[in-house]
Amino acid sequence: MNRGKVFLIGAGPGDIKLITVKGLECIKKADVIVYDRLANTKLLSYKKPDAELIYVGKSPDRHTLTQKEINDLLVREALAGKIVARLKGGDPFVFGRGGEEAEVLIDAHIPFEVVPGITSAISVPAYAGIPVTHRDFTSTFTIITGNEDPTKEDSNINWQRLASDPGTLIFLMGVGNLPNIVQQLIKNGKDKNTPVALIRWGTRPEQQVVSGILANIVEEVTRAGLKSPAIIIVGEVVKLRERLKWFENKPLFGKRVLVTRSREQASILSQRIEELGGEAWEYPTIAIEPPLDFEPFDKAIKNVNNYHWIIFTSVNGVKAFFERLKKLHIDIRKLGDVKLCAIGPKTKEQLEEKGLLVDFVPEEFRAEAIIDGLKNTLKAGQKVLLPRADLARPILVESLKELKLNVEEVIAYRTVLDSDNNKELLEKLINKEIHVITFTSSSTVKNFLKLLGEADIKNLLNGITIACIGPITAETAQKSGLNVDIIAQKYTIEGLVDALTNYFKH
């Protein structure tokens, strides 16, 4: 029988960048991914296209599958010859029942590997500004299960030892048992004034921290309405939180931002959002595709030296142009004395990477600004090449023709609908898990609305901040019935990020 293999992977505490390199490698090669409630579902986007996803999440009041059923599932999939990634929140061997699953795999003679994860016991306090050890307070910490049944006659927890321990106490998944934990510690001699903090969904946008002392923490948690999943930190190190908290001080902390750019371009915006404390959720609404017919584009490129100007209105246009130049085996030197215009700094940068100097970049990154800037330079009868998207606005072509120029507009690339996770998007919008939606072009707006189909847009987007890269995109959104909250003053990704930061700062 052809046996597969199981990887018991620690997914870390929630922030997907806290998964290990090896853990991510295992996700990418798995045939089946078995994941639980505490594993960030963004990690699933790294799967193979044909990988099967199986959710086995547990919560305090509901189990999708029992532990035995999960064990049987791992054995069954591995015996079918599949590579199985068992994705567990935190670390699989720290109250993750990974040891039990490993034993079952051994009994079934199935090869397995354990891929340790960053445990929430250390990382979640760190994101809340609480070091679990500090030379001025303690040199030890203890990790304890918070899930032990308080009605058990004989507890496996030595409460007397814990109450006398001067080190940091970390209880995992103990919100429901908080009154009993507090009672046992005080009953066994712990000072009622010992600092305590509870951290819910640590390292994620939903991170919530409630602080107090043993004497009042139950009331504080009840008042805040804090629910599981959360960890409990007991000890003097909690005092450092107000001074050391850093994650919550980031300008986009607590914001999950929907990025609607194409897959090829989304990462730049996502990276900037996450550097500023937000969580970027990439939902490409457009895909960049080649023209259906290359003949007009190829003809223009073969005669490129006959043009006086080439106007590039996007990075995609530059990439498409040079990809075709290479495909046709045309030397870049054929551009000769052709002058180049780039609509913005990123487009200019893309041309400069090809070793070309740009003759003109408008101060305002829109078609109208190109006309204003070049109208006294362009001469009637000159030939202008415009390689751009199939759905680009006609105003630039019309305005150039009014200047008596010989304009040749060719389709360098197409923007088409692109998404395969509409159901997940709708769920996140309905559950109000998305706080901001960014639009970087009119195409992203139109396609986003098409992908939502017959959904009640007004109610679905109620309370969500809408941010647009510039006035043209904003106008498209407004005409489509969306309330636009943010319009970048500088029509670039950096400009959009700056606008987001300033909006939430004030």
Instruction: Tell me the pLDDT tens digit for each residue of 218-250.
Output: 999 999 999 999 999 999 999 999 999 999 999
* Total Cβ atoms within 10 A of residue 440: 26
Read off the pTM.
0.79
Domain boundaries, the chain: 5-118, 122-248, 256-285+418-505, 304-411
Residue 462 and residue 459: Cα distance in Å, rounded?
A: 5
Residue 132 and residue 142: Cα distance in Å, rounded?
A: 9
**Beta strands at 436-439 and 406-417: parallel, antiparallel or unpaired:** unpaired
Catalytic residue among 58, 239, 250, 428: 58
pLDDT of res. 350 = 93
- Local confidence band at 463 (pLDDT 50, 70, 90 cut-offs): very high
Phi-psi region of 329 (alpha: psi -120 to 50; beta: other; left: phi over 0): left
CA distances from 225 to 183, 208, 209, 222, 232 (A): 20, 10, 11, 5, 15
Provide CB contacts within 8 A for 30, sequence distance 6+: 7, 47, 48, 51, 83, 84, 85
pLDDT of res. 284 = 79
* Total Cβ atoms within 10 A of residue 495: 18
Asked if 1 is an active-site residue, the reply is: no
pLDDT of res. 483 = 94
Burial class (CB in 10 A: 0-12, 13-18, 19+), 241: buried
Q: Is the pLDDT of residue 1 over 60?
A: no
Instruction: Give phi and psi for 383, each to the nearest 5.
Output: -95, 130
**Beta strands at 83-88 and 32-35: parallel, antiparallel or unpaired:** parallel
Catalytic residue among 15, 31, 36, 91: 36
Residue whose pair of structure tokens reads 């052709």 in the numeric block: 338
Instruction: Tell me the pLDDT tens digit for each residue of 314-370.
Output: 889 999 999 999 999 999 999 989 999 998 888 999 999 999 999 998 877 677 778
Give the CATH H-level superfamily of domain 122-248.
Answer: Tetrapyrrole methylase, C-terminal domain (3.30.950.10)
Asked if 173 is an active-site residue, the reply is: yes
Task: Give CATH for domain 256-285+418-505.
Answer: 3.40.50.10090
CATH architecture of the domain formed by 304-411: 3-Layer(aba) Sandwich (3.40)
Give the CATH H-level superfamily of domain 5-118.
Answer: Tetrapyrrole methylase, N-terminal domain (3.40.1010.10)
CA distances from 40 to 13, 35, 281 (A): 8, 9, 12
Long-range Cβ contacts of 220-228 (<8 Å, 24+ apart): 221/175, 221/178, 226/175, 226/198, 226/200, 227/175, 227/200, 228/59, 228/60, 228/173, 228/175, 228/176, 228/200
Mean pLDDT of 115-139: 96
256-285+418-505 and 304-411 share one fold: yes
Catalytic residue among 15, 88, 173, 255: 173
- Local confidence band at 464 (pLDDT 50, 70, 90 cut-offs): very high
DSSP, collapsed to helix, strand or coil, labels residue 245 as coil
